[in-house]
Structure 1
Amino acid sequence: MNATRTMYDWFAASVAAHGDRQTALEVAGEHLTYAELDATAHRLAGELVAGHGGVPSRVGLLAARSTAAYAGYLAAQRLGATVVPLNPAFPPARNATIAHDARLDLVIAEEDAPGHADLPVPVVRLSTERMAALRTGAVPELPASTAGPDDLAYILFTSGSTGRPKGVPIAHRNVSAYLSHVIARYELGPGARVSQTFDLTFDPSVYDMFAAWGSGATLVVPSRKDLLSPVRFVNRQRITHWNSVPSVASIALRLRALKPGSMPTLRWSLFCGEALMLNHAEAWRAAAPGSILENIYGPTEMTVTWTEFRLPAREEDWPRPANGTVPIGTPYPGQEHLVVDEDGRPAPDGELCVRGSQRFPGYLDPADDIGRFLSFDGDRAVPYDGSRPLTSAHWYRTGDRVTTLDGELVHLGRLDHQLKIRGYRVELGEIESALLARTGVTEAVVAALHRPDGEVELAAVYTGSTRDTEGLLAGLRERLPAYMVPNSLTALDALPLNANGKVDRGALTTLLSAPTAAA
Structure 2
Amino acid sequence: MTSVQQRTLYQWFEESALRQPDHPALEVGDEVLSFAGLRALAMTLAERIVHKHGRAPRRVALVASRTVAAYAGYLAAQRLGAGIVPLNPDHPDQRNLDIAQRAGVEVALVGGRSAGLFARLPERHRPTVLELDEDERADGPVPEGTPPAAYDLDGEAYLLFTSGSTGQPKGVPILHRHISPYLAHNITRYGITPGTRLSQVFGLTFDAHVFDLFATWGGGGTLVVPSATDLYSPVDFIVERRLTHWFSVPSVVREAQRLGNLPLGRAVTLRHSLFGAEPVTAQHVALWREVAPASQIHNVYGPTELAICCTNHRLTGPSARWPQYPGGTVPIGVMFPHMEGVLLGGDGLPADEGELCVRGPQRFDGYLDPRENAGRFLSYEDGGRAVAYDGSAPLTDRHWYRTGDRVRRVDGVMVHCGRLDQQVKVRGHRVEIGEVEAVLRRHPYVVDVAVAALPTDDGETELVAAYAGRAVDPAVFEAWLGDQVPLHMVPARIRRLDGLPLNDNGKTDRNALARILATREGS
TM-score (norm 1): 0.96
**Is contact 2:46–2:76 with CA below 8 Å preserved after alignment?**
yes
Q: Work out whether 1:233 is the aligned partner of 2:237.
A: yes
The one-letter code of the counterpart of 2:83 is T
Q: Work out whether 1:297 is the aligned partner of 2:298.
A: no
Counterpart for residue 459 of structure 1: 464
State how far apart, in whole Å, the 2-side matches of 1:449 and 1:503 are: 17
Counterpart for residue 35 of structure 2: 34
Q: Work out whether 1:506 is the aligned partner of 2:511.
A: yes
State how far apart, in whole Å, the 1-side matches of 2:61 and 2:359 are: 28
Alignment counterpart, residue 317 of structure 2, candidates 310, 313, 317: 313
Q: Work out whether 1:329 is the aligned partner of 2:333.
A: yes
Where 2:60 maps in the other structure, the secondary structure is: strand
Counterpart for residue 73 of structure 1: 74
The one-letter code of the counterpart of 1:466 is A
The structural deviation recorded for 1:216 is 0.7
The structural deviation recorded for 1:339 is 0.9
State how far apart, in whole Å, the 1-side matches of 2:143 and 2:280 are: 45
State how far apart, in whole Å, the 2-side matches of 1:373 and 1:303 are: 16
Counterpart for residue 144 of structure 1: 148
Alignment counterpart, residue 474 of structure 2, candidates 447, 469, 479: 469
Query: Residues 398-427 of structure 1, C-alpha deviation per residue, up to 9 Å, x if partnerless?
Result: 011110111110001111110111211100
The structural deviation recorded for 1:518 is 2.4
The structural deviation recorded for 1:254 is 2.1
The one-letter code of the counterpart of 2:158 is Y
Counterpart for residue 171 of structure 2: 167
Where 2:317 maps in the other structure, the secondary structure is: coil
Counterpart for residue 446 of structure 2: 441
Q: Work out whether 1:122 is the aligned partner of 2:128.
A: yes
State how far apart, in whole Å, the 2-side matches of 1:332 and 1:172 are: 18
Q: Work out whether 1:208 is the aligned partner of 2:209.
A: no
The structural deviation recorded for 1:137 is 5.3
- Count how many residue pairs are aligned between Structure 1 and Structure 2: 515
**Is contact 2:111–2:131 with CA below 8 Å preserved after alignment?**
yes
State how far apart, in whole Å, the 2-side matches of 1:78 and 1:397 are: 33
The structural deviation recorded for 1:144 is 1.7
State how far apart, in whole Å, the 2-side matches of 1:229 and 1:518 are: 35
The structural deviation recorded for 1:121 is 2.0
State how far apart, in whole Å, the 2-side matches of 1:47 and 1:2 are: 35
Alignment counterpart, residue 18 of structure 2, candidates 16, 19, 29: 16
Where 2:211 maps in the other structure, the secondary structure is: helix
Alignment counterpart, residue 278 of structure 2, candidates 270, 274, 280: 274
**Is contact 1:258–1:284 with CA below 8 Å preserved after alignment?**
no
Where 2:346 maps in the other structure, the secondary structure is: coil
**Is contact 1:489–1:518 with CA below 8 Å preserved after alignment?**
no
Alignment counterpart, residue 253 of structure 1, candidates 253, 257, 261: 257
**Is contact 2:441–2:449 with CA below 8 Å preserved after alignment?**
yes
State how far apart, in whole Å, the 1-side matches of 2:214 and 2:100 are: 24
**Is contact 2:52–2:128 with CA below 8 Å preserved after alignment?**
no
Counterpart for residue 367 of structure 1: 371
Q: Describe the shift of the 1:113–1:466 C-alpha distance in structure 2 as closer, same or farther (beyond 3 A).
A: same
Alignment counterpart, residue 352 of structure 1, candidates 336, 353, 356: 356
Alignment counterpart, residue 264 of structure 1, candidates 265, 268, 274: 268
Where 1:189 maps in the other structure, the secondary structure is: coil
The structural deviation recorded for 1:127 is 2.4
The structural deviation recorded for 1:203 is 0.5
Gaps of at least 5 residues in structure 2 are none
State how far apart, in whole Å, the 2-side matches of 1:253 and 1:277 are: 14
Q: Work out whether 1:489 is the aligned partner of 2:491.
A: no
Query: Residues 116-150 of structure 1, C-alpha deviation per residue, up to 9 Å, x if partnerless?
Result: 53364221111245x14x35455233222344111
Counterpart for residue 285 of structure 1: 289
**Is contact 1:431–1:446 with CA below 8 Å preserved after alignment?**
yes
State how far apart, in whole Å, the 2-side matches of 1:212 and 1:177 are: 15
Where 2:342 maps in the other structure, the secondary structure is: strand
Where 1:112 maps in the other structure, the secondary structure is: helix
The structural deviation recorded for 1:492 is 0.5
Q: Work out whether 1:185 is the aligned partner of 2:186.
A: no
State how far apart, in whole Å, the 2-side matches of 1:417 and 1:196 are: 30
State how far apart, in whole Å, the 1-side matches of 2:176 and 2:142 are: 29
**Is contact 1:435–1:472 with CA below 8 Å preserved after alignment?**
no
**Is contact 2:10–2:78 with CA below 8 Å preserved after alignment?**
yes
**Is contact 1:498–1:504 with CA below 8 Å preserved after alignment?**
yes
The structural deviation recorded for 1:443 is 0.7
The structural deviation recorded for 1:500 is 2.8
Higher mean Cα deviation, 136-145 or 435-444?
136-145
Counterpart for residue 46 of structure 1: 47
The one-letter code of the counterpart of 2:414 is L
Gaps of at least 5 residues in structure 1 are none
Alignment counterpart, residue 9 of structure 2, candidates 7, 13, 18: 7
State how far apart, in whole Å, the 1-side matches of 2:120 and 2:139 are: 29
Where 1:174 maps in the other structure, the secondary structure is: helix
Where 1:362 maps in the other structure, the secondary structure is: coil
Query: Residues 39-78 of structure 1, C-alpha deviation per residue, up to 9 Å, x if partnerless?
Result: 0000000000000101111111001210111001000001
State how far apart, in whole Å, the 2-side matches of 1:248 and 1:138 are: 39
The structural deviation recorded for 1:159 is 0.6
The structural deviation recorded for 1:2 is 6.0
Report the RMSD for the aligned CA atoms in angstroms: 1.5
Query: Residues 218-249 of structure 1, C-alpha deviation per residue, up to 9 Å, x if partnerless?
Result: 00000011111111111111111000001011
The structural deviation recorded for 1:465 is 2.3
State how far apart, in whole Å, the 2-side matches of 1:348 and 1:177 are: 28
Where 2:219 maps in the other structure, the secondary structure is: coil
State how far apart, in whole Å, the 1-side matches of 2:140 and 2:238 are: 31
Q: Indicate the percent of aligned positions where both proteins have the same amino acid.
A: 50
Q: Describe the shift of the 1:427–1:75 C-alpha distance in structure 2 as closer, same or farther (beyond 3 A).
A: same
Q: Describe the shift of the 1:461–1:135 C-alpha distance in structure 2 as closer, same or farther (beyond 3 A).
A: farther
Where 2:479 maps in the other structure, the secondary structure is: helix
Higher mean Cα deviation, 479-488 or 337-346?
337-346
Q: Describe the shift of the 1:128–1:247 C-alpha distance in structure 2 as closer, same or farther (beyond 3 A).
A: closer
Higher mean Cα deviation, 357-366 or 116-125?
116-125
State how far apart, in whole Å, the 1-side matches of 2:148 and 2:481 are: 45
**Is contact 1:212–1:218 with CA below 8 Å preserved after alignment?**
yes
Where 1:88 maps in the other structure, the secondary structure is: coil
**Is contact 1:326–1:410 with CA below 8 Å preserved after alignment?**
yes
The structural deviation recorded for 1:363 is 0.6
Q: Work out whether 1:217 is the aligned partner of 2:218.
A: no
Q: Describe the shift of the 1:463–1:148 C-alpha distance in structure 2 as closer, same or farther (beyond 3 A).
A: same
**Is contact 2:11–2:151 with CA below 8 Å preserved after alignment?**
no
Where 2:328 maps in the other structure, the secondary structure is: coil
Counterpart for residue 242 of structure 1: 246
